[in-house]
């Protein structure tokens, strides 16, 4: 099979690319990425010389480029991770979220129609369901929960999901969608809660907790997310949506205190700041469908996974320091100056 992973230089996509390259040497894996501020080829160093791997720089919303690429490469499977992903950025500048997350997705779907792709998988998010109240721990998102997005980011992701299902029903494009909860692990861009707090605590800087810190997220290790996607692509039923989550709910304050404790830093570093506009209160996934239908189960326990992740950021300070200084963007120019 020839598999195109879009957004493969980002946090989750790079884990997916490495998993596919290593576990399926008979498959050809093409990583397609625009290399926005969030894309970093350093994340893919481990596979950059693998014989079944190739990198292509490009924009999923560039129709001419995408159609040319599909014509040339004859992909069997597309796994679409490419997106603008940070909620706070979407509050400041929604336009790029509409362009990449909606127009990019429909461009890929049009190319799938034209070139008869065997499977299109959309990597979506639990944020499309909106949020749950903090005083109803009995409530969870399942695949029948209505879409009820809160932020420009989640509205764009929800819109993309609607197009994916419309292309399935109207044109018969063979699609699947996964909706996962918050991921954590190595190589996450240091604007998201966990790496941001680790990098700031390491530098003895204030940790900005939005509102009261009582908002709840349902954390899943990035490797468990990618294993679930691999299962869905190979064994999932066409036209189906699968929720992914591991029942690891924590308040933001609990996560921040775990980080401070692991780093031996004082809780006085916590600074409560103005809340995120429209801040979702609680996410919580019911993963019964993927567990019973596909036999998926998470392998990481949050308490072990978060400690290992914190240790990774301590051991790989150079990686996030290069990002914070902007230096990492030179890596592409240096590595690929003779290749693209
Ligand atoms: P990320 O921001 O780390 O990476 C996004 C990648 O997409 C980057 O490499 C970027 O260069 C690339 N990209 C952006 N615009 C592009 C374009 N127009 N064309 C081609 N490439 C482009 O994101 P992430 O956290 O790895 O998330 C990946 C996917 O998973 C997203 O679709 C996101 O909605 C979804 N998701 C994320 C989480 C999470 O907790 N991070 C949870 C559930 C779902
Ligand atoms: O649920 C899946 C989603 O998880 C993905 O679809 C998104 O792409 C991903 O970014 C993530 O969204 P969140 O908004 O939940 O993640 P973020 O790391 O931005 O924030 C996590 C929580 O921490 C949220 O309640 C806001 C809070 N927060 C975040 C930051 C950056 C703070 O209190 N302070 C901060 O500085």
| Ligand 1 atom, smallest distance to 127 CA | 43
Mean pLDDT for the chain overall: 96
C-alpha atoms less than 13 angstroms from C-alpha of 16 in its C-beta half-sphere: 31
Q: Ligand 2 pocket: which of 100, 178, 192 to mutate (most atoms <8 Å of CB)?
A: 192
Pocket of ligand 1 (CB under 6 A): 6-7, 9-13, 33-36, 38-39, 59-61, 81-85, 100, 104, 123, 125, 157, 180, 182-183, 189
76-107 pLDDT tens trace: 999 999 999 999 999 999 999 999 999 999 99
| 3 and 28 Cβ atoms separated by less than 8 Å | yes
pLDDT at 325: 85
Name which residue sits closest to atom 12 of ligand 1, judged by CA.
7
CA of 122 to the centre of ligand 2 (A): 20
From residue 304, give the alpha-carbon distance in Å to each of 99, 173, 258.
38, 40, 11
Distance, CA of 240 to chain centre: 19
Alpha-carbon distance of 102 to 144, in angstroms, equals 22
Q: Which one is catalytic: 126, 131, 218, 223?
A: 126
Whether the model clears a pTM of 0.95, i.e. scores above it, the answer is yes
Q: Ligand 2: distance of its center to the CA of 322 in Å?
A: 22
Active-site choice (53, 120, 129, 153): 153
**What does the block give as tokens for 115?**
């070139």
Q: Which of 28, 33, 84, 127 is catalytic?
A: 127
pLDDT at position 231 is 98
Atom of ligand 2 nearest to the CA of 87: 14
Residue whose tokens read 């921040």: 256
What integer pLDDT is reported at residue 324 of this predicted model?
Answer: 87
How many C-alpha atoms does 11 have within 13 Å on its Cβ side? 25
pLDDT tens digits for 299-321?
999 999 999 999 999 999 999 99
Of 245, 286, 40, 11, the residue nearest 140 (C-alpha): 286
Task: Clarify whether 127 is annotated catalytic.
Answer: yes
Write the DSSP symbol of residue 284. -
Q: Is 153 a catalytic residue?
A: yes
Reply yes or no on whether the pLDDT at 339 is more than 90: no
**CB 87 less than 6 A from any atom of ligand 2:** yes
Residue 326, pLDDT score: 78
- Cα-flanking dihedrals φ and ψ of residue 304, to 5°? -75, -45
Residue 340 to residue 332: CA distance in whole angstroms: 10
pLDDT score of 199: 95
Report which DSSP code applies to 132: B
**How far is residue 9's CA from residue 277's CA, in Å, rounded to a whole number?**
29
In this prediction, residues 27-38 reach a mean pLDDT of: 97
How far from 267 is each of 242, 249, 274, 302, 309, CA to CA, in Å? 38, 21, 19, 21, 20
Q: What is the pLDDT of residues 207-254, one digit of tens each?
A: 999 999 999 999 999 999 999 999 999 999 999 999 999 999 999 999
Evaluate if residue 56 carries a pLDDT over 80. yes
Q: Residue 85 C-alpha to ligand 1 middle, in angstroms? A: 5
List, in sequence order, every beta strand (DSSP E) within the chain. 2-6, 28-33, 53-57, 77-80, 119-125, 175-180, 183-184, 207-210, 216-218, 220-221, 240-244, 249-251, 270-273
Segment 7-23, tens digit of pLDDT: 999 999 999 999 999 99
* Model pLDDT for residues 114-153, shown as the tens digit of each residue: 999 999 999 999 999 999 999 999 999 999 999 999 999 9
pLDDT of residue 332: 60
Token pair in block for residue 318: 């150079």
pLDDT of residue 336: 54
Please name the residue whose Cα sits nearest to atom 11 of ligand 2. 182
Distance, in Å, from the CA atom of 212 to the CA atom of 2, rounded to the nearest integer, reads: 47
180-213 pLDDT, tens digit per residue, is 999 999 999 999 999 999 999 999 999 999 999 9
């Amino acid at each position: 099979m020839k598999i195109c992973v879009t957004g493969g230089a980002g946090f989750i996509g790079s884990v997916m690319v490495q998993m596919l390259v290593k576990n399926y040497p008979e498959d050809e894996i093409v990583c397609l990425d625009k290399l926005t501020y969030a894309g970093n080829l350093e994340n893919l160093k481990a596979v950059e010389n693998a014989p079944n791997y190739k990198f292509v720089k490009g924009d999923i919303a560039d129709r001419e480029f995408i159609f040319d690429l599909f014509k040339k490469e004859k992909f069997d499977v597309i796994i679409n991770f490419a997106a603008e992903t940070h909620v706070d950025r979407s509050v400041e500048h929604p336009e790029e979220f509409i362009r990449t997350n909606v127009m990019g997705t429909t461009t890929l779907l049009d190319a799938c129609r034209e070139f008869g792709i065997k499977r299109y998988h959309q990597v979506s998010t639990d944020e499309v369901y909106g949020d749950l109240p903090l005083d109803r721990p009995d409530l969870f998102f399942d695949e029948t929960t209505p879409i009820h997005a809160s932020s420009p980011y989640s509205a764009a992701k929800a819109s993309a999901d609607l197009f994916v299902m419309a292309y399935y029903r109207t044109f018969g494009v063979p699609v699947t969608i996964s909706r996962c909860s918050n991921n954590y692990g190595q190589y996450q861009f240091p604007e998201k809660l966990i790496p941001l707090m680790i990098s700031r605590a390491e530098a003895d800087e204030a940790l900005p907790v939005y509102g009261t810190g009582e908002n709840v997220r349902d954390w899943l290790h990035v490797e468990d997310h990618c294993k679930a996607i691999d299962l869905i692509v190979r064994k999932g039923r066409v036209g189906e949506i699968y929720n992914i989550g591991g029942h690891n709910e924590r308040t933001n304050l609990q996560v921040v205190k775990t980080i401070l404790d692991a780093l031996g830093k004082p809780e006085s570093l916590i600074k409560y700041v103005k809340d995120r506009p429209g801040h979702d209160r609680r996410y919580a996934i019911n993963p019964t469908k993927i567990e019973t239908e596909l036999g998926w189960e998470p392998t990481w326990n949050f308490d072990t996974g978060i400690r290992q992740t914190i240790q990774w950021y301590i051991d790989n300070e150079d990686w996030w320091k290069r990002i914070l200084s902007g230096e990492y963007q030179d890596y592409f120019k240096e590595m690929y100056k003779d290749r693209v």
